Amino acid sequence: MPDAPELVKLWVRIDGRGVVNIPTVGTCDGSPGEALCPFDVPRGALLTLNAQPKNNWQFDRWQDACDGAPTPTCVLAPEEDTQARVRFELNDDLL
């Protein structure tokens, strides 16, 4: 029987109103305007983080482990405890 994979902590931080979905892992909901969600993930596993804004909000940018990712999707494979931060901003044009 193979050993269970070693786990690391992935912290997803949301600034603004939106959600981050990580298929097969879970969802972090920033509906209140901010959130900090911990997930235990296998070390080195390839993860896709999908950021989706709530009504009247839009994706602004990724920071920390996903810094520089130009789209609402970030792919990473954490080897150690890691934080990915996404920022959503209010879109006045949608009000």
pLDDT of 94 over the 70 cut? no
CB-based burial, 53-79: b 16+ in 10 Å, e otherwise: beeebebbbbbebbeebeebebebebe
pTM above 0.85, yes or no: yes
Cα atoms found within 13 Å of the Cα of residue 17, Cβ hemisphere only: 9
pLDDT in tens, 40-52: 999 999 999 999 9
Q: Which residues contact 56 (CB under 8 A, 6 or more apart)?
A: 17, 90, 91, 94, 95
52-77 pLDDT per residue, tens: 999 999 999 999 999 989 999 999 99
For residues 55 and 52, what is the distance between their CA atoms, to the nearest angstrom? Answer: 10
Confirm whether 70 is domain-assigned. yes
User: Does residue 11 sit within a domain?
Assistant: yes
| 2 found inside a domain | no
Within 10 A of 44 (CB to CB), how many other CB atoms are there?
A: 13
| Domain-located, residue 57 | yes
> Can you give the residue range of the structural domain that contains 83?
7-94
Work out how many domains the chain is built from and give that number.
Answer: 1
**Confidence (pLDDT) at 3:** 77
Q: What is the CATH number of the domain that holds 35?
A: 2.60.40
